[in-house]
Amino acid sequence: MSIWSYANPRKFLDTTAPWVPWLMWLSAAVLAVGLVWGFFFTPEAERFGSSVKIIYLHVPSALMAINAWLMMLVASLIWLIRRHHVSALAARAAAPVGMVMTLIALITGAIWGQPMWGTWWAWDPRLTSFLILFLFYLGYIALWTAIPDPDSAADLTSVLCLVGSVFAILSRYAVNFWNQGLHQGASLSLDKQENVADVFWVPLLVCMAGFVLLFLALVLLRTGTEIRARRIAALRARARRVEPVRA
Amino acid sequence: MMDLGKYAAEVISAWGISLAALAGLVWWSVRRDRKVRAELERTERDHG
């Protein structure tokens, strides 16, 4: 069966709806394990003291902030090329989730930065690109609500998504590109020498898995909501067209 | 209660804000989904 068969809204709903509660509970369970492990059963770091515990929320939320936008980029490209409504609605559904993830990354970063760097905020390449990404999320959500015609809204938000992708990629690689500023390099690396110690790394991986599952669950749930909201609008529009004829 | 040392305020506020934001996001998404499902049922009954 082709993947494009899921572009049919009915087929998408029938397939995904039974998965959503399971994914919700699974994400809650994995997050609970990772967060309890990280908070209660990991030691303090030599340089950072107990503030290292912020990593279990900061790193996964930053990861999802960037990847949510990249998922929106793929969905937007599918809309622009193949005109599948479900993909445009999936991008719309993911935006508030990505926006909240970006906000969590910014706030936890600022709270951690105050005692470590002596400032809540610095115009550092990674921090600045993350702030711009957050503003892109706000603009994207506002654009969807500002345009009444759903196809025009999908077109314009898709173009905005393409432009914002530059900042999503910059947020990830800003430290490598400029090699300056306060923010350190990636906390996770395939190179074991550069990685954080295993005692922090394993619960962090569990938290990241929990965030990925939560993102999936929320995007599927919210895409279903958007499809149903679109159906309500279509039924009402049809009723408005039919009623004058009956009268 | 575990001792978080001199960074207790930072750790607790970061965790509190993050967990509240995540819980709020889930609550808002589930609530909107229920509202839209109920509205769709009503609309299908009236116009479907």
The Cβ of residue A73 has, within 10 Å, a number of other Cβ atoms equal to 18
Paired residues of A180 in beta bridges: none
Give the range among A36-45, A98-107, A133-142, A193-202 with minimum mean pLDDT. Answer: A193-202
Judge: A53–B4 Cβ closer than 8 Å, yes or no.
Answer: yes
Which of A30, A36, A54 is the best mutation test for B, with the most CBs of B within 10 A? A54
pLDDT in tens, A114-162: 999 899 998 888 899 899 999 999 999 999 999 999 999 999 999 999 9
Quick check: A97 pLDDT over 70?
yes
State how far residue A4 is from chain B, nearest Cα, in angstroms: 25
State how far residue A229 is from chain B, nearest Cα, in angstroms: 6
Rounded mean pLDDT of chain A?
Answer: 90
Which of B4, B13, B17, B18 is the best mutation test for A, with the most CBs of A within 10 A? B18
Domains of chain A: 20-241 (1.20.120)
Judge: A50–B5 Cβ closer than 8 Å, yes or no.
Answer: yes
pLDDT value at residue A168:
85
Paired residues of A49 in beta bridges: A45
Domain that holds residue B22: 4-47
Dihedral sign, Cα of residue A144, residue A146, residue A150, residue A155: negative
Model confidence band, residue A7 (pLDDT cutoffs 50, 70, 90): confident
Judge: A232–B11 Cβ closer than 8 Å, yes or no.
Answer: no
Residues with Cβ within 8 Å of residue A118, at least 6 apart in sequence: none
Judge: B25–A57 Cβ closer than 8 Å, yes or no.
Answer: no
Structure tokens given for A173:
């690689």
Tell me how far apart the alpha carbons of residues A207 and A28 are, in angstroms, rounded to a whole number: 10
CB B18 within 8 A of CB A107: yes
Picking from A9, A61, A8, A44, the residue whose alpha carbon sits closest to that of residue A199 is: A44
List, as own/partner pairs, every contact residues A111-117 make where C-beta atoms lie below 8 angstroms and the sequence separation is at least 24, other chains included.
A111/A54, A111/B10, A111/B13, A111/B14, A111/B17, A112/A51, A112/A54, A112/A58, A112/B10, A112/B14, A113/A182, A114/B10, A115/A51, A115/B6, A115/B7, A115/B10, A116/A48, A116/A51, A117/A182
Judge: A107–B2 Cβ closer than 8 Å, yes or no.
Answer: no
- Whether chain A has a CB inside 8 Å of the CB on B41: the answer is no
- Whether chain A has a CB inside 8 Å of the CB on B31: the answer is no
Judge: A50–B11 Cβ closer than 8 Å, yes or no.
Answer: yes
Range B20-31 average pLDDT: 98
Judge: B10–A96 Cβ closer than 8 Å, yes or no.
Answer: no
State how far residue B12 is from chain A, nearest Cα, in angstroms: 9
CB B46 within 8 A of CB A242: no
Judge: B15–A57 Cβ closer than 8 Å, yes or no.
Answer: yes
Rounded mean pLDDT of chain B?
Answer: 94
Quick check: A47 pLDDT over 90?
no
> Given A40, A111, A221, which is nearest B33 (Cβ)?
A221
pTM of the model: 0.91
Domains identified in chain B, total number:
1
